[in-house]
Amino acid sequence: MRSEQVKKGVTKAPHRSLFKAMGYTDEELSRPLIGVANSFNEIIPGHLHLRTITEAVKAGIRMAGGTPVEFGVIGVCDGIAMGHEGMRFSLASRELIADSVEVMASAHCFDGLVLVPNCDKIVPGMLMAAARLNIPALMVSGGPMLAGELKGEKIDLNTVFEGVGAQAVGKITEEELTEIEERACPGCGSCSGMFTANTMNCLTEVLGLGLPGNGTIPAVDARRIRLAKLAGMKIIDLVKANLRPAQILTKEAFTNAFTVDMAVGGSTNTVLHLPAIAREVGVELDLNWINEVSKRTPHLCSLRPGGVHHIQDLDAAGGISAVLATLAQKDLINLECRSVTGGTIGDNIENARVLKTDVIRPLDQPYDEEGGLAILFGSLAPDGAVVKKAAVDPRMMVHEGPARVFDGEEGAIEAILGGKIKSGDVVVIRYEGPRGGPGMREMLSPTSAIAGMGLDREVALLTDGRFSGASRGASIGHISPEAAEGGPIALVQEGDRIRIDIPRNRLDLLVDETELEDRRRRWQRPAPKVTKGYLARYAKQVKSANTGAVTDADA
């Protein structure tokens, strides 16, 4: 066992003495030491109950003959960080989370890891650490929040964001917005909908690093506690079998993950996170390959923000296992991929079935013959951009309009709420990329304002930043190269015509190449927005969005 490096032999007497200072007994030290990474805090609703989940994990570890060692991990609430300087730290925190888990597991020679996250960057950060460390590991999330309810209809956090836009144009009163605010988020859990946190928790199941139910069992359901106990027990099996993430996270596993992502219409942020996780085990995921997966995968689930169903509905319909079983009928899933259950994905879904065909549609009745995400290329995005086409109104799948250009999110929000954006406009928000932001802020506030004002069927929004999984409409992000690197988005001028053609995977700036070359010669790289602290270091190291916005030196 790895932990023998800190607990076995005469020379480790000082180490054992320190363990005993914390109350560990010789019996506990004779067992496998399992690190339990707990990202509990009191600022993220999805993490508020993680002490309870972690205690269940630790109980499972002890039942199976191991010794749990809990340590803390940071987390940013994307909703609370949204729309101000705090959002610069959200994506950047992913690297800190991965690094901190690596530090703790390596410094203390844990034999295995159970990772307990729930929300946006915490999940992929922990998965990156597990892949990098390559010691037996599995993840159990805190589970999704239940949807709120108002006047007989389900609502969620996205309803509140869109309510801001609706109130701005007089569709609802301030009092009605307050009522939505009071009821949208009824308790703990990751925000209800196929937003980034829930997408990544679901895909953790598909990758094989989470147990069935990890993505969809509600946070307040007792099944979540039982799942956590089972996760604690399973890690001991993984340690005994020496089954490690690199044996699970194969190219086929990532293919399965993107296939399910397309079928459920997941968050655009998976295009950042899955490639970053894959790099940790030496698997390269090309953006063109993602389009290939999308084109052969039917879109089976219409979940918030693009549809009416919430994660609790997906759970009631049979969960991710039922989605996998449906896709397997068309040979779209590699059933031989391994899982932390100790079996294969095929073993895991052997008894899975769809319980609600209105939530998980049959293969012959999909919402669309192709998947819910698309990668766009063209003169405005030579290295790619991403759109959640499952959340785009059919009338905006092909659109051409004049650019309304903003060098930052704040100016765009002011113009949108001030009524300065008109039908047909293409809002361009730039210098918000990984390096230029820095931190690649999410644009939920402007997209929600557009949707709330009823303009999501008439106005497109493009950015070298990114979107929340809760965004809907013709919202195209991750435009690469970013403006701060002199990408074509930096050369767009007010009134330029931009053409979007999602079915053909195109995004083009309709400006003569001679004119663009003249603009390119005159363009000057802007001064860094942040010159000290973590974000300044991050901005110097981070790579383009098409790499997954990784920071490793040889990316």
Q: How far is CA 152 from CA 76, 155, 179, 183, 419, in A?
A: 32, 10, 13, 12, 31
Neighbouring residues of 509: CB distance < 8 A, sequence distance ≥ 6? 378, 379, 380, 488, 491, 492, 496, 497, 498, 516
**C-beta pairs of 520-527 under 8 Å, 24+ apart in sequence:** 520/486, 520/491, 523/486, 523/490, 523/491, 525/484, 525/486, 526/431, 526/436, 526/484
Which positions are catalytic? 468
Distance of alpha carbon 326 from alpha carbon 319, whole angstroms: 11
Amino acid in the structure at residue 404: R
Distance of alpha carbon 287 from alpha carbon 274, whole angstroms: 11
Burial 4-34 (b: 16+ CB within 10 A, else e): eebbeeeeeeebbeebeeeebeeebbebbbb
| Helical H segments across 65-186, by residue range | 78-81, 88-107, 122-133, 157-168, 174-183
Distance of alpha carbon 218 from alpha carbon 6, whole angstroms: 38
H or E, element range at 294: helix 287-296
385 within 8 A of 477, measured Cβ to Cβ: yes
| Helical H segments across 222-269, by residue range | 222-241, 245-248, 251-264
State the DSSP code for 30.
Answer: T
Neighbouring residues of 236: CB distance < 8 A, sequence distance ≥ 6? 32, 34, 61, 64, 65, 66, 112
Q: Are strands 148-150 and 475-480 parallel, antiparallel or unpaired?
A: unpaired
Distance of alpha carbon 228 from alpha carbon 50, whole angstroms: 10
Q: Are strands 475-480 and 460-463 parallel, antiparallel or unpaired?
A: parallel
Extract the tokens encoding 161: 């964001």
Q: Chain centroid to CA 104: how far?
A: 24
State the DSSP code for 497.
Answer: E
Neighbouring residues of 107: CB distance < 8 A, sequence distance ≥ 6? none
Q: Chain centroid to CA 29: how far?
A: 37
Strands in 279-414 per DSSP E: 374-378, 381-387, 398-406
Neighbouring residues of 175: CB distance < 8 A, sequence distance ≥ 6? none
Q: How far is CA 83 from CA 13, 351, 448, 455, 491, in A?
A: 52, 44, 11, 20, 25
State the DSSP code for 513.
Answer: H
Q: What angle do CA 465, 470, 471 make, to 5 degrees?
A: 55
